[in-house]
Amino acid sequence: MISKNQIKLITSLQQKKYRQLHQLFIAEGVKVIQELLESNFELEHLYITEPIFNKCKKEVKTTITSSEMDRISCLKTPTNSLALFKIIDNPIIEEKRLVVALDHIRDQRNLGTFIRFCDWFGIEQLWCSQETVDIYNPKVVQATMGSISRVNVNYFDLATKLKSIKLPIFGTFMEGENIYKSILPSEGIIILGNEANGISNEIEKIIQKKLSIPRFGSIQKTESLNVATAAAIVLSEFKRIS
């Protein structure tokens, strides 16, 4: 049984201001929840429609009906489990090895995909501009498929932060140097820009080396790659060289 106050709290967490107020976020589905349970994130409460997560203490677990799950879920097709976890206030910040920085990324699923890419390629630091979508948005959490537990995500005034570091700074542009012919280091900041407008003018001025992914088609009328696709190619090439 779930109370009206619990339903009100959970549904409010779909909005950033209430996530910040309560310092809680939503995770749904067995895989995502299990990944978070095995991480540094602290479980606040777990709601289930069937007997799962038996290792969790009874006092932080409530069995509810499928119709109740429908009321609190953020998904079009709710799963058998929804959990509330406490937000980590101060993720680790390291200015070494490879770091990915996102400038004005607005699509929730794109951010979730970037976090998965960082996890896949062993990149522990993801820096975001303050205009980038919130990591604890339920759609972002869902899109990470648990990788949120293994990547340190921080939000900054990105231009100010980049001006203060000593690592080389790379950015992706249509007119940049062919990435397949570039000498790439094992350490640096890789900037990826907004889905529609690319890297902002302010950040562009700070970038030390512009990189591009060349088009190989004979007609070459494709305007650009999806930013998530471009990210996968760029990260793969940095890791191949290193």
Task: Indicate which CATH number applies to the domain containing 45.
Answer: 3.30.1330.30
Residue pLDDT, tens place only, 96-106: 899 999 999 99
Q: How many CB atoms lie within 10 A of CB 196?
A: 10
Query: Would residue 226 count as lying in a domain?
Result: yes
Q: What is the pLDDT of residue 220?
A: 59
| Cα distance between residue 140 and residue 145, in whole Å | 9
What is the pTM (predicted TM-score) of this model?
A: 0.91
Query: Would residue 91 count as lying in a domain?
Result: no
Same domain as 156, residue 76: no
Asked which of 65, 86, 107 is the last residue of a domain, the reply is: 86
Residue pLDDT, tens place only, 27-56: 999 999 999 999 999 999 999 999 999 999
Same domain as 120, residue 52: no
Q: What is the pLDDT of residue 102?
A: 97
User: What is the pairing mode between strands 98-102 and 81-86?
Assistant: unpaired
DSSP characters for 174-227? EEEEEGGGS---SSEEEEE-BTTTBS-HHHHTT-SEEEE-----SS-------H
Under a CB-based contact definition with an 8 Å cutoff, are residues 173 and 62 in contact?
no
Same domain as 161, residue 59: no
Q: What is the pLDDT of residue 138?
A: 97
Query: Would residue 179 count as lying in a domain?
Result: yes
Asked which of 51, 86, 121 is the last residue of a domain, the reply is: 86
Query: Would residue 44 count as lying in a domain?
Result: yes
Name the helix (H) or strand (E) containing 172: strand 169-178
φ/ψ (deg, to 5) at 194: -55, 145
Dig out the tokens for 213 from the structure.
């992914």
Listed as ranges, residues in the chain with pLDDT below 70 are: 217-224, 241-242
Query: Would residue 196 count as lying in a domain?
Result: yes
Under a CB-based contact definition with an 8 Å cutoff, are residues 101 and 189 in contact?
yes
Same domain as 220, residue 119: yes
Dig out the tokens for 108 from the structure.
């929730």
User: How would you label 41-63 residue by residue, b for 16+ Cβ within 10 Å and e otherwise?
Assistant: bebbbbbbbeeebeebeeeebee
Same domain as 234, residue 114: yes
Q: What is the pLDDT of residue 36?
A: 97
Q: What is the pLDDT of residue 212?
A: 92
Residue pLDDT, tens place only, 72-95: 999 999 999 999 999 998 788 888
Domain count, the chain: 2
